[in-house]
Amino acid sequence: MSKHVPEQLLALIRPAVRAAKPYLVPGARPVSVKLNQNESPFDLPPVLKRELLEAFFQIDFNRYPSEQPTKLIQALESHCGVGPGSILVGNGSNELTYTLGMCFVEEGDAVLTPTPMFALYESMVRLHGGVPLQAECTTDYQVDCDAVVATIERVQPKLTILASPNNPTGLAIPKKEIERIVKAADGFVVIDEAYHEFNPEGAALDLLMRYPNVIILRTLSKAFGLAGLRLGYLVARPEIIAEMMKSRLPFMVDRLAEQVGLLLLRHQDLIRDRVDQIKVYTENLRQAMMQRDDIDVLPTDTNFILFRTGHDPAELLQNLANHDVLVRNMGGYPQLKGYLRVTSGTPSENKAFLDALTTVLG
């Protein structure tokens, strides 16, 4: 077997793909306290897992699931208070991000993404031949809504993508500012609400009722604690969903994931209770970090906290990992060089992080 693939074969791969980078979580390694990916600290309660076992044994593994998870779609429509045909379910919201590219982004299309923002969006735009436009954040890391509106009025991009609360900054956009952006846009405005359950501003779903160019993107990975099962959904007017459905691959949601999603939607009280707990854990962690003069801590509207110290962030991350705690280096975003990100875990996990941080900082 030849050791190398000839360059003329590699040249057949689309240039946008060859220029891209794979999405990899930097610094990942096995540790006891994993606080680097904004996951919920709560697994499903054992009683619910036992309930799922019965559903698990009813699954015919030799049969395809439905082309689209109809029961889950109907449950989510009821959960969101929207009419039939308003929801598209995917294999995590990340997969639906690429559906947006497939449906809306053609060669040369302008797509506006305030920065810093989850890096997958820019990657999606470039892979589909679009041109990412960026509006820099303010000096306190808020989305600069004036700059966003000015860019929209100048260019009228086909897509404007907002995240509220924003990943990686953790800050929400005021609802009135989101509406101002939506009103300025002739194109679609996608609002990523992955962390909306933690958002003191409240969700922007009501804007969908008043403005046909709004698309809401959500996930069950964060507050619902289903990061390991990959469920996300997109909410838009039925006419838009009907067109987007044409680009969807069938069978993207497996039977087990659908059953777990349905189960948790029947236990909203559990989710609300867990969100309330996580908010308390996050604020307690932030207050403990702010007690130190050598840590600069940013405010947050999510379940994670950005912070920086006088130490090199890559070195600090490794030293914390050596103490069995994993956080995330945010230096990949130019605006956030020097910052690390810690996800709020359980009280014992947060204590382990604080103990490790105290030891490393001295």
Asked whether residue 239 is domain-assigned, the answer is yes
CA angle (85, 91, 92) in 5-degree steps:
95
- The half-sphere exposure of 207 on its side-chain side, counting CA atoms within 13 A, is 22
In the prediction, which pLDDT does 331 show? Answer: 92
Q: What is the mean pLDDT of residues 256-277?
A: 94
Interval 5-22 mean pLDDT: 88
User: Cα–Cα distance between 185 and 163 in angstroms, integer?
Assistant: 16
Percent of the chain with pLDDT over 70: 99
Q: Across 104-213, where does the E strand assignment appear?
A: 110-115, 131-136, 159-163, 188-192
CA dihedral 314, 23, 285, 32 (to 10 degrees): -80
Q: Residue 339: beta bridge partners? A: 308
According to the model, what pLDDT value does residue 2 have? 61
- pLDDT category at 269 given cuts 50, 70, 90 is very high
Label residue 58 by pLDDT band (50, 70, 90). Answer: confident
Same domain for 192 and 337, yes or no, is no
> Residue 45 domain-assigned?
no
C-alpha separations of 214 from 19, 118, 246, 261 in Å: 31, 19, 19, 24
The answer to whether position 219 is within a domain reads: yes
- Count of domains in the chain? 2
Give the strand pairing for 87-90 and 33-34. Answer: unpaired
Q: Both tokens of residue 107?
A: 């060669």
Beta-bridged to residue 325, according to DSSP, are 33
Please tell me the predicted confidence (pLDDT) of residue 1. 58
Nearest to 322 by CA among 25, 30, 11, 24: 30
Confidence of residue 123 (pLDDT cuts 50, 70, 90): very high
With respect to residue 49, please indicate whether it lies within any of the assigned structural domains: no
Q: Which residues contact 346 (CB under 8 A, 6 or more apart)?
A: 41, 42, 281
Whether the pLDDT of residue 208 is over 90: the answer is yes
Q: What is the DSSP letter of 43?
A: P
> Of 267, 297, 320, which residue is a domain's last?
267
Q: Verify that 250 and 287 share a domain, yes or no.
A: no
Average pLDDT in the chain: 93
Q: Both 181 and 310 in a single domain?
A: no
Give the domain range for residue 356: 9-38+269-361
Cα dist. 117→175, 216, 223, 296 in Å?
18, 16, 20, 21
- Give the percent of the chain with pLDDT over 90: 78
Query: Would you say residue 304 lies in a domain?
Result: yes
Residue 230 to residue 220: CA distance in whole angstroms:
8
- Give a yes or no: residue 48 inside a domain: no
Q: Which amino acid is at 119?
A: A
